[in-house]
């Protein structure tokens, strides 16, 4: 077991940070209740890792959560203009992304869609873009299966959803976009630079929008809850 080179525990009186709050579903002012700084060294002190573990309390809803911020000497970036720096990696517990809450009333979604949606949402909040992309593709397939859509492929099945009025034209376009996203993953996973794929997957606001459509469009939503 490697001992930390340095371990420092603080309980600051007056330190505040802006971080996403899972209850308020937005970035809020949080009071730092406790902060543990840890400096680890690996590979005969060739690699340094600095981590701050923070317990914070939202000053809006008073919820207490936890997050860590770490930097590694191996990740150093040399910008063309400016000083070298170590990028920060932030991890929140529970996982969260401001503005991407679970949908309200998701229990009204068909069971198969509901289960996949919750797992895909967890992957999204944990910033796992590849698993999120797979989850989105699975959601689209589950929607078509639930509605017994006919068609030789997923594209035709989504078109059937629109023809039968189960999704609006805009909703069908979004589903096609999600299908295309999943298709890219299936066909080109090994050829997509991770950076590009992350950017691609981060456009997953469509993931949120398509289901918001169901929530906002009562007629469509009722069709989903019949059966
Ligand atoms: Zn809050």
Check whether residue 110 and residue 155 sit in a common domain: yes
CA 31–ligand 1 middle distance (angstroms): 11
Check whether residue 122 and residue 212 sit in a common domain: yes
Check whether residue 68 and residue 121 sit in a common domain: no
Judge whether 86 lies within some domain.
Answer: yes
CA 35–ligand 1 middle distance (angstroms): 19
The pocket of ion ligand 1, defined by CB under 5 A, consists of 21, 23-24, 28, 58, 60-61
Check whether residue 116 and residue 199 sit in a common domain: yes
Given 70, 93, 116, the domain boundary residue is 93
Strands 26-42, 6-10: pairing kind = antiparallel
Check whether residue 23 and residue 133 sit in a common domain: no
DSSP code for 77: B
Check whether residue 176 and residue 115 sit in a common domain: yes
pLDDT of residue 183: 65
CA 61–ligand 1 middle distance (angstroms): 4
DSSP for 164-190 reads TTSS-HHHHHHHHHHHHHHHHHHHHGG
pLDDT of residue 121: 84
CA 89–ligand 1 middle distance (angstroms): 22
Check whether residue 34 and residue 126 sit in a common domain: no
The whole-angstrom separation of Cα 70 and Cα 89 is 5
Domain count within the chain: 2
Tell me which residue range forms the domain holding 212.
Answer: 106-225
CB-based contacts of 11: which residues, under 8 Å, 6+ apart?
33, 34, 35
Check whether residue 193 and residue 113 sit in a common domain: yes
Find out whether 147 and 103 touch, Cβ atoms under 8 Å.
no
Residue-by-residue pLDDT tens, the chain, 227 positions: 889 999 999 999 999 999 999 889 889 999 999 999 999 999 999 999 999 999 999 999 999 999 999 999 999 999 988 899 999 988 888 888 777 777 777 788 888 888 888 888 888 887 777 777 778 778 878 888 888 888 888 888 888 888 887 777 777 787 787 777 666 655 555 544 444 334 334 344 454 555 444 444 434 434 443 33
CA 209–ligand 1 middle distance (angstroms): 23
């Amino acid at each position: 077991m490697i001992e930390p080179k340095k371990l420092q525990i603080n309980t600051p009186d007056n330190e505040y940070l802006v971080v996403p709050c899972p209850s308020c579903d937005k970035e809020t002012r949080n009071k730092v209740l406790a902060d543990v700084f840890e400096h680890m060294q690996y590979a005969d002190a060739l690699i340094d890792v600095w981590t701050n573990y923070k317990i914070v309390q939202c000053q809006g809803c008073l919820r207490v959560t936890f997050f860590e911020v770490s930097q590694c000497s191996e990740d150093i970036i040399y910008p063309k203009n400016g000083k070298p720096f170590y990028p920060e990696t932030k991890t929140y517990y529970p996982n969260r992304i401001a503005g991407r809450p679970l949908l309200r009333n998701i229990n009204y979604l068909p069971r198969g869609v509901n289960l996949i949606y919750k797992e895909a949402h967890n992957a999204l909040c944990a910033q796992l873009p590849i698993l999120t992309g797979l989850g989105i593709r699975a959601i689209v397939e589950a929607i078509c299966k639930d509605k017994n859509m006919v068609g030789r492929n997923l594209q035709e099945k989504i078109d059937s959803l629109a023809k039968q009025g189960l999704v609006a034209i805009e909703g069908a376009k979004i589903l096609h976009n999600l299908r295309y996203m999943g298709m890219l993953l299936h066909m080109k996973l090994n050829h997509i630079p991770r950076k590009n794929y992350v950017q691609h997957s981060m456009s997953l606001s469509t993931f949120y929008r398509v289901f918001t459509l169901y929530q906002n469009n009562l007629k469509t939503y009722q069709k989903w809850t019949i059966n």
